[in-house]
């Protein structure tokens, strides 16, 4: 009986883990010949792991939400277009605060090597996701074409030069996702964000709290009932 109890507990714990830890990303969106590494409604979260600046605290979370991906003509070019929102997590209030809502992020046409970015995105170093297959030169050229930033490439890292001895170093995965975003001024880190792959375990929406405790309570109740039934069987 003890083995049965142990197996039941392990199974229920695994069930709870997979319910809470399954990431909110599922795939890519391909429209025409252009592909973006996400789908409508998906989101990614970055956590601040190092900070010496006033605007970022260690532990701060930033959520990049893909609102919609669609085809449209942009600046005379048929393009895959992405809109996005940005939310920051309020640790004190325990809630997400949206500060950029359903805004233009990028327009992309693979066959024409056309890429246009939201000025808010590249000025704020919000280079969270890029088209795939990854082409950092195309991304850098698109930003530099605005005449504001210079860039360089070091392996899988895109380095944006903001002047005043300030650079933003963005490490990109082959999946088109920024894994590290680091701001450096005069050789010192101002802030460093890392892709938070386990964010749903750390920050669980209220609905999942009910789900978690409901599942946990049900699990305990089932174990107690089963023990009582087993005890009754042995006494009779």
Domain-wise residue ranges, the chain: 22-203, 204-236
Compute the distance between CA of residue 75 and CA of residue 131 in angstroms, rounded to an integer: 18
Alpha-carbon distances of 186 from 35, 200, 224, 232, rounded to whole Å: 37, 35, 62, 74
Q: Which of 44, 50, 46 is nearest to 184 (CA)?
A: 50
For residue 230, the Cα-to-chain-centroid distance in whole angstroms is: 47
Compute the distance between CA of residue 160 and CA of residue 125 in angstroms, rounded to an integer: 8
Compute the distance between CA of residue 216 and CA of residue 80 in angstroms, rounded to an integer: 44
Q: Which of 170, 141, 176, 172 is nearest to 29 (CA)?
A: 176
Compute the distance between CA of residue 124 and CA of residue 29 in angstroms, rounded to an integer: 25
Beta strands in the chain (DSSP E): 29-31, 34-36, 43-51, 61-74, 77-90, 95-109, 114-117, 150-154, 157-163, 166-172, 178-185, 188-195
pTM: 0.71
> pLDDT tens track of the chain, all 236 residues?
545 554 444 444 434 333 333 345 558 999 999 999 999 999 999 999 999 988 888 889 999 999 999 999 999 999 999 999 999 997 777 889 999 999 999 999 999 999 998 888 877 767 899 999 999 999 999 888 876 678 999 999 999 998 889 999 999 999 999 999 999 999 999 999 999 876 443 444 444 444 444 445 445 545 555 555 555 555 55
């Amino acid at each position: 009986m003890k083995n049965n109890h142990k197996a039941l507990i392990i199974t229920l714990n695994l069930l709870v883990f997979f319910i809470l830890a399954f990431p909110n990303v599922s795939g890519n969106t391909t429209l025409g010949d252009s592909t973006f590494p996400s789908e409508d409604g998906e989101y990614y979260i970055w956590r601040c792991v190092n900070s010496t600046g006033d605007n970022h605290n260690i532990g701060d979370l930033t959520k990049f939400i893909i609102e919609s991906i669609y085809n449209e003509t942009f600046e005379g070019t048929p393009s895959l277009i992405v809109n996005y929102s940005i939310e920051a997590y309020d640790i004190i209030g325990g809630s997400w605060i949206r500060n950029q809502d359903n805004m233009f992020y990028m327009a992309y046409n693979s066959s024409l090597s056309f890429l246009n970015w939201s000025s808010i995105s590249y000025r704020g170093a919000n280079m969270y996701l890029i088209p795939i297959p990854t082409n950092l030169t195309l991304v850098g050229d698109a930003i530099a074409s605005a005449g504001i930033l210079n860039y360089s490439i070091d392996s899988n890292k895109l380095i944006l030069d903001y002047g005043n001895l300030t650079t933003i170093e963005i490490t990109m995965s082959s999946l088109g996702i920024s894994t590290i975003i680091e701001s450096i001024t005069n050789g010192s880190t101002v802030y460093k964000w890392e892709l938070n792959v386990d964010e749903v375990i750390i920050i669980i929406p209220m609905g999942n709290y009910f789900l978690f405790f409901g599942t946990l309570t049900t699990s305990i109740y089932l174990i107690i009932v089963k023990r009582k039934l087993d005890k009754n069987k042995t006494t009779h």
